[in-house]
Amino acid sequence: MTGWVYWLDMAGVIVFALSGVILACRSRMDPFGMLVLAAVTGIGGGTLRDLVLGVRPVFWVSDPTYLWVILATVAVSILGFHYIHRLTRTFLPVTDAFGLALFTVIGAHKALLLGSPGVVAVLMGLMTGVAGGMIRDLLARRVPMVLRQEVYATASIAGGTVFVVLSTLQAPTAMAIGLGLAVTLGLRLAAIRWHLALPTFAWVVTEPAPPAPEPPLTPGPNDTPPTTRRRTKARVKLIRPGRRQGRR
C-alpha cells in the first residue's frame, strides 16, 4: 500500500472510530463501551474483508498502529467529552459518510492489489465501508443504516464501481481514488441533505370492490337467499419514499 493511501486508511479509521464514540456517548455507555464501538467501527469492516480474501494476519495484527490510533481517538474524545456531547445530530451521519467513502475505496484498492476480479473488489469495498457500521449499530441496539431506505450501500457500490472501472482502464491511481471518493461521498451527503431514499416493496392484502346490487327477486318457497363470496387479493406494492419531516 502506497504511503498516501496508507494515511487515507488511517484517516478512515479515525473518522469511523469517532462516529462509534459519538454513538456510544448518546447511548450512555462507559469508556469501555466507547472503546468497543470505536474499535468495531474502525477496523471491523477491514477485518472481515481480510478474512474473506484470505489475508493472514489481518491488517491490524501486522500493523498495531491501527489499534493505537483507535485508543488515541477514544482518549481524546473522553478528554473533550463536553465538546463531543454537544455535537449536532447531523455530525454523526456526515462523519460516517466520510468514513464510508474512504473505506470503500481502500477496500476495493486492496482487493485489486490481491488480484481479485472487479466485481469482487466492489463487494470488498462495500464490506469494508459497511460492515463495521453495521456491527456498531447492532451493539448500540439500532437498526443499521444499510438496512434502512436511505442511500447508503448504494453510494458505496457506486463509488467502488467508479474506482474499479478507472483502475481497470489503467487510469492514474490518484484520479481513480479521487473520483471514487467523490462519488461515494457526494451520493451519501446528497441523501443526508435532501433525504433521498430508495423505494420499498411491501406485500399488501386488499379487499375486492363490492359487487353491484342486483334487482330484488321474489324468492320461491324452496329457494335459498343468494350469497356473495368475496375473496381477498394479495399483491406486491411499490411504496415510494416520502419526504421525511424534521431531522433524524
pLDDT in tens, 12-49: 899 899 889 988 988 889 999 999 999 999 999 999 99
Angle between helices 3-26 and 65-79 (to 10 degrees): 40
Q: What is the pLDDT of residues 63-108, one digit of tens each?
A: 999 999 999 999 999 888 777 767 667 787 888 899 899 999 999 9
Is 199 contained in some domain? no
Q: What is the pLDDT of residues 131-183, one digit of tens each?
A: 999 999 999 999 887 887 679 999 999 999 999 999 999 999 999 999 999 99
Burial class (CB in 10 A: 0-12, 13-18, 19+), 82: exposed
Note down the domain range covering 147.
3-194
Q: What is the pLDDT of residues 234-244, one digit of tens each?
A: 666 667 765 44
E strand or H helix at 94, and its extent?
Answer: helix 91-113
User: CA–CA separation, 182 vs 238, rounded Å?
Assistant: 31
pLDDT interval class at 248 (50, 70, 90) = very low
Is 133 contained in some domain? yes
Q: Across the chain, what does the average pLDDT equal?
A: 85
Show the beta-strand stretches assigned E in the chain. Answer: 200-206, 233-239
Is 204 contained in some domain? no
User: CA–CA separation, 181 vs 106, rounded Å?
Assistant: 10
Is 200 contained in some domain? no
User: CA–CA separation, 54 vs 109, rounded Å?
Assistant: 16
pTM of the model: 0.82
pLDDT at 245: 41
pLDDT at 244: 44
Is 202 contained in some domain? no
Q: How far is CA 93 from CA 79, 83, 184, in A?
A: 22, 17, 13
Q: How far is CA 43 from CA 59, 69, 75, 85, 122, in A?
A: 9, 11, 17, 23, 18
Number of domains in the chain: 1
pLDDT interval class at 206 (50, 70, 90) = low
Is 246 contained in some domain? no
pLDDT at 225: 57
